[in-house]
Structure 1
Amino acid sequence: MNKKRMLVSLVTGAILGVFCIVGASIRSGGEASTSLLFALWYNRIIMGLVIGLNISKKDLPSIIIRGAFLGLVVSFAYYASTGFTDIVSFLAGIIYGIIIEYVNFRVNK
């Protein structure tokens, strides 16, 4: 395991999780429960963990595909827990998976 890759993935996931919390709060009109917002943030941390455990790739197309796939897989757990109602967070998770992979690609060149 590459410790730098893991750290970058976890920190990026945590930061993106904050963006998710803000977005979910705005979409819900400020009425989203604290536990729901925490679950969303925690999901992004788990996404960072899963991506951080993978071996670095050197080609951009591969990291985009892998980031999207891992983002989809990890975000699906949260999406299912909402009764398949929060499609925006699910789709954002796919994008965030790509972002986490891309940040690692740039930092670990």
Structure 2
Amino acid sequence: MSKRLIISLIMGALLGIVCIVGAQVRSGFSQTPTYLFAFWFNRVLMGLVIGLFSKPRTHVTMIWRGGLTGLFVSFAFYSATGFADIVGFLVGVIYGIIIEWVAHRFTTHTA
């Protein structure tokens, strides 16, 4: 596995934990473990997809690709929940950008 893929998977898993906390707080701690696992797993998948891409050549590409990938991957979970969690869906865009930025930052070699 490439360093970029490992970093992206770790970031997806960590941001998935943030999503679980946010979902629980927004719902008054009423979400089921299955829902929370699916939410977390969606973020891990986002990390996987972003990690499989090659490193972007420009910062503009990094932002657009991270955002669009976050939107696309988050839509899978959003549609599976009956379009119930718009916040979780939209935050996926931001998380996609964060994952892409961190993967780029920690795989860029400065000599």
TM beyond 0.5: yes
Structure 1 position 5, deviation (Å) = 0.4
Match of 2:71 in 1: 72
TM-score (norm 1): 0.97
Match of 1:48 in 2: 47
Q: Deviation string for 1:9-54 (max 9, x for gaps)?
A: 0000000000000000000100001100000000000000000000
Structure 1 position 58, deviation (Å) = 3.0
Match of 2:24 in 1: 25
Instruction: Kindly indicate whether the alpha-carbon contact (under 8 Å) linking 2:4 and 2:104 is maintained by their aligned counterparts in 1.
Output: no
Structure 2 counterpart of 1:73, which letter?
F
The whole-number CA distance in structure 2 between the counterparts of 1:62 and 1:68 is 10
Give the fraction of aligned pairs with identical amino acids, expressed as a percent. 53
TM-score (norm 2): 0.95
Structure 2 counterpart of 1:63, which letter?
M
Match of 2:101 in 1: 102
The whole-number CA distance in structure 2 between the counterparts of 1:5 and 1:106 is 10
The whole-number CA distance in structure 2 between the counterparts of 1:58 and 1:66 is 11
Structure 2: any 5+ residue segments left out of the alignment?
Answer: none
The whole-number CA distance in structure 1 between the counterparts of 2:8 and 2:54 is 12
Structure 2 counterpart of 1:94, which letter?
V
Structure 1: any 5+ residue segments left out of the alignment?
Answer: none
Q: CA RMSD in A?
A: 0.8
Structure 2 counterpart of 1:67, which letter?
G
The whole-number CA distance in structure 1 between the counterparts of 2:39 and 2:92 is 10
* Count, aligned residues: 108
